[in-house]
Structure 1
């Protein structure tokens, strides 16, 4: 077939075939003495391969490697392209979410300012990062591993439970329940007259919680809940618990307002968080290694910590008390330290590959020189009454 006939049969333009010939992607089987390009059935099959690989998003240079270089790995290229498309899908879904929120704002107010659109985008991006971070309990467990080296051997979950004064008969809501350790570690103290609603925004985390509490006696209910919009009537609960999660909520004040709304009069709210002083030695170590990574602080914890949280809660609750939980992590190997930082929201994207290997060596050298790494820990529980 001459080029015009081949193009017509293949459903492409002559211009496309000329370009493929020029870049060495698809050369005709023959060329006549007069310079006419002649294509055959084999060329048609190659063109079908090109069309297929283009459809899945591979570039022409990648396709040329697959077709003409034996070392090119089609499977790897498909995996890479699939990952790229998944990221693109996430971005599109994020944009749609922003549009939906913006549309709701316009319906409520009749207009939308540019500054408000910027806020919506920031909030949506934050929500997506947190959702990705806690899709499963893996990152939570990695960070918990470092705390197993704490010299304060009082169990955190037991300590928290003992700080709470829960009525004999109570409707309890835990927001951001994680893996349900508060209840599994204190199973012997669960009152049969408690109705305990465990919630999280992550289906994967709720699934982990159900598995952990499968053999624990208790009236447990499981709900996927956004703390900024709690789907219950006013005064539905006697106790609300939010442990180390409020700083992840895009609009903290809205969440606190919702918590107050669903609490009965005289109801209790227990919230835990870290102190800004916590992990100071580790943060200094990271800063000295490479401050450009932006991992030399406690990340989102700073949005609601011991130092600012009490003042914020006092705006909503008549009585706010605080209890503190302090300790020292003493570790003699780099692995749990690196895993802690690498599993954070920002760390998971910047502390990887060669950078992670460099940091592991840096921490290892520090421990070898000093004999150990000591890290201060300081957390608290706020006890608020409506």
Structure 2
């Protein structure tokens, strides 16, 4: 076949074939005395290989290299490219999600300005960080470890349970149940006639909860739930519980609207969170260490904390009461403090390698000079009813 016929049959342009010839990627089987390029079936098969590898994203130089190497090298290159394409797909899915969120916001508000779009992008990115954070219970355990140094030895989960009015025969939904600690710590007080549904957005958290509760003589129900879209009918729950999770929800107002919807007229919503002043000394230490790292704050918890939570809840609930629990962590070694900060969403990707070592040395010096690190804890529970 001459080049024109070959181009027509193969579905590529003559210009493309001339370029492939020039760079040595696909040379014709022969050239006539007058300069005509002649292609055969073998050339067609090689062009198919080139087209396939180009389709999966390989560059022409990579294609030229691997077509002359062993099959093992080709396999390796394809695996690498597959991973790259998977990452690209995740990025595209993320962008589509952003546009979907933007479209929904525009429909609800009648318009979409730049600030709204920026917020939607932040929230979408935040959701990915949260999902990564709670793939397992590792980060939760690291944060719990630091709290074991608290001078206030009141058990948090037992304190919460005591503050809840969980009457007999209640239908209870816990959002963001985590590893099920609330029920593990209070297993002796679970009413056998109640119906308890434990939910989380993370399948791995639900798996951990199931494992931790498997020896308790009670039939818990488990369900993966997004708090913004609770898959139950109106007014069926006596109690909804959300422990230190509401500030992770992308649309807090939507979640509260859903929680109000599924609660019975006399139902109660128990929601726990931190004070903006909790861990203030640790945040100040992080600020002095390096103010540019953005680990000198309580992260996402400021979206719903003890200071602003009541105003947010007032839009949905008529009666709101709050209970506080304060304490002080006193620790004389750096590692539990470093691990705590490194386990947070903002610290997870920052306090690694050399930067983690530097932060550890900084805290070691502080402890050497001050004998220990004292960190204020202040957390609490809102009790909201319709």
The two structures have a TM-score, normalised by structure 1, of: 0.80
Indicate the residue corresponding to 2:327 in structure 1. Answer: 326
Give the Å deviation of 1:304.
1.2
| Equivalenced residues, count | 379
The answer to whether the 8 Å contact 1:319/1:385 transfers is yes
- C-alpha change, 1:246 and 1:167, in structure 2 (3 Å) is same
Indicate the residue corresponding to 1:356 in structure 2. Answer: 352
Indicate the residue corresponding to 1:244 in structure 2. Answer: 244
- C-alpha change, 1:58 and 1:158, in structure 2 (3 Å) is farther
Give the Å deviation of 1:297.
1.2
Give the Å deviation of 1:302.
0.9
CA deviation string 1:126-147 (max 9, x = no partner): 4444334334444434444444
Cα distance in 2, alignment partners of residues 65 and 333 from structure 1: 51
Indicate the residue corresponding to 1:365 in structure 2. Answer: 361
Cα distance in 1, alignment partners of residues 339 and 22 from structure 2: 50
Give the Å deviation of 1:309.
2.0
Flag structure 1 segments of 5+ consecutive residues without an equivalent: none
CA deviation string 1:319-364 (max 9, x = no partner): 4121214231526354x5454444433444x42xxx7212122123
Flag structure 2 segments of 5+ consecutive residues without an equivalent: none
- C-alpha change, 1:305 and 1:103, in structure 2 (3 Å) is closer
| Mapping of residues 244-323 of structure 1, within 5 Å | 244-314=244-314, 316-323=317-324
SS at match of 1:193: coil
SS at match of 1:307: coil
CA deviation string 1:186-230 (max 9, x = no partner): 222211022111122233322332232222222422233232333
- C-alpha change, 1:361 and 1:115, in structure 2 (3 Å) is closer
- C-alpha change, 1:373 and 1:276, in structure 2 (3 Å) is farther
Indicate the residue corresponding to 1:50 in structure 2. Answer: 50
Higher mean C-alpha displacement, 282-291 vs 41-50? 41-50
The answer to whether the 8 Å contact 2:106/2:112 transfers is no
CA-based RMSD? 3.7
| Mapping of residues 332-347 of structure 1, within 5 Å | 332-334=333-335, 337-347=337-347
Higher mean C-alpha displacement, 165-174 vs 12-21? 12-21
Cα distance in 2, alignment partners of residues 35 and 144 from structure 1: 77
Higher mean C-alpha displacement, 116-125 vs 374-383? 116-125
The two structures have a TM-score, normalised by structure 2, of: 0.80
SS at match of 2:352: helix
SS at match of 2:373: strand
- C-alpha change, 1:112 and 1:147, in structure 2 (3 Å) is same
Give the Å deviation of 1:123.
4.2
Cα distance in 1, alignment partners of residues 104 and 359 from structure 2: 49
Indicate the residue corresponding to 1:196 in structure 2. Answer: 196
SS at match of 2:307: helix
